[in-house]
Amino acid sequence: MNPTLEIFSQGEEIVTGQTVDTNAAWLSEHAVNMGLTVTRHTAVGDKLDDLIALLREISIRADCCICTGGLGPTSDDLTAEAVAKAFDLPLEFDAVAFEQVKRFFALRNREMPDSNRKQAMFPKGAERIDNAWGTAPGFSLQVGRCWFAFVPGVPNEMRHLFLESIQPTLASRFLLQPNRLITIRTLGLGESAIQQRIDAIEIPAQVQLGFRASPDDVQTKLLFPQNYPEAAMTTLVDKMAVELGDHVFAIDGLGRASGDLVFTVDQLMIAGQHTLAVAETASQGLLAAKCIGAQWLLESRYQQSLEKLGQSLAVTVNADDLIASAQAIAGEINKTGCAELVLVQLYSGDNKTFHDKDRAIILYNVLLTGDGFHQTTHSVAGPIERKQNQAALLALDLLRRYLQHKEL
Amino acid sequence: MNPTLEIFSQGEEIVTGQTVDTNAAWLSEHAVNMGLTVTRHTAVGDKLDDLIALLREISIRADCCICTGGLGPTSDDLTAEAVAKAFDLPLEFDAVAFEQVKRFFALRNREMPDSNRKQAMFPKGAERIDNAWGTAPGFSLQVGRCWFAFVPGVPNEMRHLFLESIQPTLASRFLLQPNRLITIRTLGLGESAIQQRIDAIEIPAQVQLGFRASPDDVQTKLLFPQNYPEAAMTTLVDKMAVELGDHVFAIDGLGRASGDLVFTVDQLMIAGQHTLAVAETASQGLLAAKCIGAQWLLESRYQQSLEKLGQSLAVTVNADDLIASAQAIAGEINKTGCAELVLVQLYSGDNKTFHDKDRAIILYNVLLTGDGFHQTTHSVAGPIERKQNQAALLALDLLRRYLQHKEL
């Protein structure tokens, strides 16, 4: 079994919600990649008793713990004191740490306030973690089962101290076997639909299966232990990808560059040296916005009224046949513009339907290419921001499917 | 003493660092404003034993607990089962919840997989929390000292359920003394610039001052105790607003409807019955996208090349005089379109500069109104997504300033 790690974040600003704790996620991701099992994140405020209780809990529960925050010079920075009290250790003055704190102020031509002296007081038995990035040195300490590392909560300092000191120490203290994470990214299938499709595939007990639904995709995650045979891994991933079919737009973790849908489209557009013009309705600019900086996106337009969109291009549109209307619009944009591909998105449903989270709009996407028209139709419900986002993604996904099939 | 609240986030994606837990901060901020004392955040993964242990701990430690995540249909969604095991309660089928889950699928014209049936199983004694925003209903339950509320981890659903159900329930179950939070929202001033401007204003010891910088604004926060005199509060807020001047686009907490910059612009556009056409460059659709569903936004266009933008409107443009070019473009859009106001955004800086986080682009915004042209110029650096977002916001802010001055 992998050694267990807990993350402990200290600070009133975290527990009251003034600051989102990004440190915990950053540290966890790095720890998991190293082969540690992260079992808990805990955040508490600046109350000495809470800190003491938590430190004691963790010391009997985890193999190691990284604690951020509470190392500053002010009265609410209580970490060293809490550690001393929790484990009945005296605080001792560290002359080297004190010199480092003093030097930090001298370098900035600032006088060191007396309160900073406390940053050089560590519990007996602690090892100093030098901090070239701020005033507060960190420290580490073995207590019973658990190896603790205490570092400042400032993200930049914390990251440096982790990479330069904590990571190598963990690697030498524990026998680690990094896992391998494969993520299959899909669009257009819900979590439960995915589970149904892959239900018949047998997943070995050592492989952990998980799902993550975000506004932009649904991710099917497979976590393989280090020594899992490469061929068996590939076979399992391929089986799943086959069941999920065309909905799969990327697979992360196989060593190829991969990412979100926009990344996939971007790679395909650049590889094929394509260019694109877009007319958006329900996504209202979001499709273009998602492709920020892409050289292949030459132009995009949004018109609130279908009639005005037709007029601006001098084509006849018909709200009762949106596929034909989208084809006519795409044809005209193709004639007047200079993009090779033209993507037109229309939708049916009035303004009230669009705003009503309980009603669905129907999206009509038409892609005009050198070999003719390609189209998809989708029903999308939910809050207006979801409709907008899905509209942008589903139109881009039509482009992605076309480009991927062309590549095959 | 205020009642204590703990936040409990469930999910392998949180504990492994795949997702930053923004729910905990959002919930804490709202709970603190209500007058609750948030004592801990804890996140654990999808392991049944960990969940059971944590639920038991919290049930004897806190007065209430909000738990997010683990209510989905898949095998790693274990919340209801963990609650049942932790407190020795049978799981019972809730027919109303089941109808809700079924309706969600019916609305989307999708078949409900069998696995979703488990979302209608609640521990005996639980009260259902209806969820109009997704498939998973939540539930609440009193166990010993602690009142637990369980809601989905999807931020949009969680926020709705908190505001519509949990917040009123907490307010009726506990005798709360809410603080009063006033938030001054600004665009175009950094945190330290704000601090400098308000440095001379004396802030009473009972009032807590804080700052929060987000991609969309900088918020200056004043937290007043419940019985703080209204007149003194208003005077202090006014003094600050005067020092921050035109940069203030909204003040939250004074009882008037208020929100982000788009909300402010939306209110002003609707009140004045204005309409708008937009030409975007650096924001590349994001300005239009931010105004999703707004009836007053009639059209928007993006052209990668300034030359092509000029050609498409048959106006002469000159990269050396972007203000004059933007005015010419706005004039032509005004002639051919039917919007009352025209907003044109251009920028100088080549594609490499745009992508380089260490180099700045210059934004030129021109607004054409019945009483002529209004313009602003800004230098924006940082990653391309920041440039894009600032470009959208700063153009909208020109519109906001014009509409607010007109109103005065």
Strand-pair partners of B367: B343, B374
pLDDT tier at B134, thresholds 50, 70, 90: confident
How many CA atoms does the CB half-sphere of B216 hold within 13 Å?
Answer: 12
How many CA atoms does the CB half-sphere of A90 hold within 13 Å?
Answer: 3
Dihedral sign, Cα of residue A376, residue A382, residue A384, residue A389: negative
User: How far apart are the CA of B15 and the nearest CA of chain A, in angstroms?
Assistant: 6
pLDDT of residue A33: 84
Q: How many structural domains compose chain A?
A: 3
Instruction: For residue A128, give the H/E element and its range.
Output: strand A127-129
pLDDT of residue B213: 75
Residue A114 CB contacts under 8 Å (≥ 6 apart), including other chains = none
- pLDDT tens-digit readout, B354-406: 999 888 999 999 999 999 999 999 999 888 999 999 999 999 999 999 999 88
**What type of residue is A257?**
A
- pLDDT tens-digit readout, B306-351: 999 999 999 999 999 999 999 999 999 999 888 999 999 999 988 8
How far lies A197's CA from each of A191, A193, A251, B377, in Å? 10, 6, 17, 54
User: What percent of chain A is predicted at pLDDT more than 90?
Assistant: 74
Rounded CA gap, B379 and B390, in Å? 10
Are A195 and B302 inside 8 Å of each other by CB?
no
Instruction: Let me know: does A257 contact A267? Beta carbons within 8 Å.
Output: yes
- Say whether residue B30 is in contact with chain A using an 8 A CB cutoff: yes
**What type of residue is A402?**
Y
Rounded CA gap, B250 and B260, in Å? 7
Residues 47-86 on B with a CB inside 8 Å of A are 47, 50, 72-76
Residue A103 CB contacts under 8 Å (≥ 6 apart), including other chains = none
- Average pLDDT taken over every residue of chain B: 92
Residues A289 and A388 reside in one and the same domain: yes
How far lies A117's CA from each of A68, A79, A124, B274, B408, in Å? 20, 15, 17, 61, 55
Domain ends where: A142, A173, A204? Answer: A173
Instruction: For residue B37, give the H/E element and its range.
Output: strand B37-44
Rounded CA gap, A352 and B107, in Å? 16
Indicate whether this complex's ipTM tops 0.90: no
Instruction: Let me know: does A6 contact A61? Beta carbons within 8 Å.
Output: yes
How many CA atoms does the CB half-sphere of A314 hold within 13 Å?
Answer: 2
Rounded CA gap, A3 and A36, in Å? 5
User: How far apart are the CA of A295 and the nearest CA of chain B, in angstroms?
Assistant: 8
pLDDT tier at B133, thresholds 50, 70, 90: confident
Dihedral sign, Cα of residue B226, residue B231, residue B237, residue B239: negative
Q: For position B22, which CATH number holds?
A: 3.40.980.10
- pLDDT tens-digit readout, A120-143: 999 999 999 998 877 789 999 999
- At residue B228, what are phi and psi to the nearest 5 degrees? -65, 135
Residues B296 and B380 reside in one and the same domain: yes
- Say whether residue B28 is in contact with chain A using an 8 A CB cutoff: yes
pLDDT of residue A74: 74
Instruction: Let me know: does A314 contact A332? Beta carbons within 8 Å.
Output: yes
Residues A195 and A318 reside in one and the same domain: no
Instruction: Let me know: does B52 contact A27? Beta carbons within 8 Å.
Output: no
3-state SS, residue B281: coil
Rounded CA gap, B49 and B266, in Å? 49
- pLDDT tens-digit readout, A278-291: 999 999 999 999 99
C-alpha closest to that of A297 among B299, B303, B105: B303
Q: For position A219, which CATH number holds?
A: 3.30.70.2860
- pLDDT tens-digit readout, A1-21: 789 999 999 988 899 888 889
Rounded CA gap, B262 and A188, in Å? 30
Instruction: Let me know: does A346 contact A326? Beta carbons within 8 Å.
Output: yes
Residue A356 CB contacts under 8 Å (≥ 6 apart), including other chains = none
pLDDT tier at A329, thresholds 50, 70, 90: very high
Rounded CA gap, A285 and A281, in Å? 8
C-alpha closest to that of B345 among B261, B274, B288: B288
pLDDT tier at B145, thresholds 50, 70, 90: very high
Domain ends where: B173, B206, B225? Answer: B173
Instruction: Let me know: does B179 contact B195? Beta carbons within 8 Å.
Output: no
Rounded CA gap, A325 and A311, in Å? 12
Residues B266 and B251 reside in one and the same domain: no
- Say whether residue B98 is in contact with chain A using an 8 A CB cutoff: no
pLDDT of residue A408: 64
Rounded CA gap, B221 and B219, in Å? 6
Are A14 and B46 inside 8 Å of each other by CB?
no
Residues B129 and B31 reside in one and the same domain: yes
- Average pLDDT taken over every residue of chain A: 92
Residues B348 and B219 reside in one and the same domain: no
**Is B408's pLDDT higher than 70?**
no
Rounded CA gap, B202 and B236, in Å? 9
Q: Which residues of B touch A360 (CB under 8 A)?
A: 107-109
Residues B189 and B64 reside in one and the same domain: no
- To the question of pTM greater than 0.90 for the whole model, the response is no
> How far apart are the two ends of chain A, measured CA to CA in Å?
42
Domain that holds residue A251: 180-256
A273: left (phi over 0), alpha (psi -120 to 50) or beta: left
Instruction: Let me know: does A218 contact A211? Beta carbons within 8 Å.
Output: yes
- Say whether residue B350 is in contact with chain A using an 8 A CB cutoff: no
Q: Which residues of B touch A263 (CB under 8 A)?
A: none
- pLDDT tens-digit readout, A292-325: 999 999 999 999 999 999 999 999 999 999 999 9
DSSP letter (8 states) at residue B165: I
- Say whether residue B214 is in contact with chain A using an 8 A CB cutoff: no
For the record, the structure tokens of A230 come out as 């490469």
Dihedral sign, Cα of residue B10, residue B12, residue B15, residue B18: negative
**What type of residue is B318?**
N
- pLDDT tens-digit readout, A334-360: 998 889 999 999 999 888 999 998 999
pLDDT of residue A392: 98
User: What percent of chain B is predicted at pLDDT more than 90?
Assistant: 72
Residues B37 and B155 reside in one and the same domain: yes
C-alpha closest to that of B25 among A30, A58, A12, A77: A12
Strand-pair partners of A184: A220, A251
Dihedral sign, Cα of residue A105, residue A111, residue A115, residue A121: positive
C-alpha closest to that of B112 among A129, A84, A385, A195: A195
Q: Which of A20, A30, A210 sits opposite B22 (nearest CB)?
A: A20
> How far apart are the two ends of chain B, measured CA to CA in Å?
45
How far lies A243's CA from each of A239, A272, B311, B314, in Å? 6, 28, 49, 52
Higher pLDDT, residue A112 or B78: B78
- Say whether residue A352 is in contact with chain B using an 8 A CB cutoff: no
Q: Which of A25, A43, A210 sits opposite B40 (nearest CB)?
A: A43
Q: Return the number of other C-beta atoms located less than 10 Å from residue A205's C-beta.
A: 5
Residues A194 and A86 reside in one and the same domain: no
- pLDDT tens-digit readout, B281-304: 999 999 999 999 999 999 999 999
**Is A375's pLDDT higher than 90?**
yes
C-alpha closest to that of A82 among A62, A101, A94, A67: A67
Instruction: For residue B103, give the H/E element and its range.
Output: helix B95-107
pLDDT of residue A69: 92
Q: What is the mean pLDDT of residues A161-169?
A: 96
- Say whether residue B246 is in contact with chain A using an 8 A CB cutoff: no
Q: For position A385, which CATH number holds?
A: 3.90.950.20
C-alpha closest to that of B278 among A313, A288, A392, A295: A288
Higher pLDDT, residue B340 or B13: B340
Higher pLDDT, residue B259 or A115: B259
**HEC sequence for B190-259:** CHHHHHHHCCCCCCCCCCEEEEEECCCCEEEEEEECCCCCHHHHHHHHHHHHHHHHHHEEEEECCCCCCC
Domain ends where: B255, B274, B297? Answer: B255
- Say whether residue B127 is in contact with chain A using an 8 A CB cutoff: no
The helix/strand count (H/E) of chain B reads as: 15, 17
Rounded CA gap, B236 and B244, in Å? 13
Task: Find where tokens 């590889």 sit.
Answer: A271
Q: Which of B39, B291, B312 sits opposite A44 (nearest CB)?
A: B39
For the record, the structure tokens of A190 come out as 């819900």
3-state SS, residue A318: coil
pLDDT of residue A377: 96
**Is A112's pLDDT higher than 90?**
no
Instruction: For residue A4, give the H/E element and its range.
Output: strand A4-10
Q: What is the mean pLDDT of residues B141-162?
A: 94
For residue A45, the chain B residue with the least C-alpha distance is B39
Residues A165 and A275 reside in one and the same domain: no
Strand-pair partners of B294: none
Q: Which of A32, A289, A357 sits opposite B285 (nearest CB)?
A: A289
- Say whether residue A234 is in contact with chain B using an 8 A CB cutoff: no
For the record, the structure tokens of B249 come out as 């686009």
Are A41 and B46 inside 8 Å of each other by CB?
no
Residues A308 and A377 reside in one and the same domain: yes
Task: Find where tokens 């005996």 sit.
Answer: B124
Q: What is the mean pLDDT of residues B208-212?
A: 80
Residues B211 and B353 reside in one and the same domain: no
Rounded CA gap, A285 and B283, in Å? 10
Residue B399 CB contacts under 8 Å (≥ 6 apart), including other chains = B265, B276, B341, B343, B367
Rounded CA gap, A302 and A329, in Å? 12
pLDDT of residue A310: 95
How far from chain centre, in Å, is Cα B385? 17
- Say whether residue B318 is in contact with chain A using an 8 A CB cutoff: no
pLDDT of residue B230: 92
How far lies A188's CA from each of A182, A246, A397, in Å? 20, 10, 9
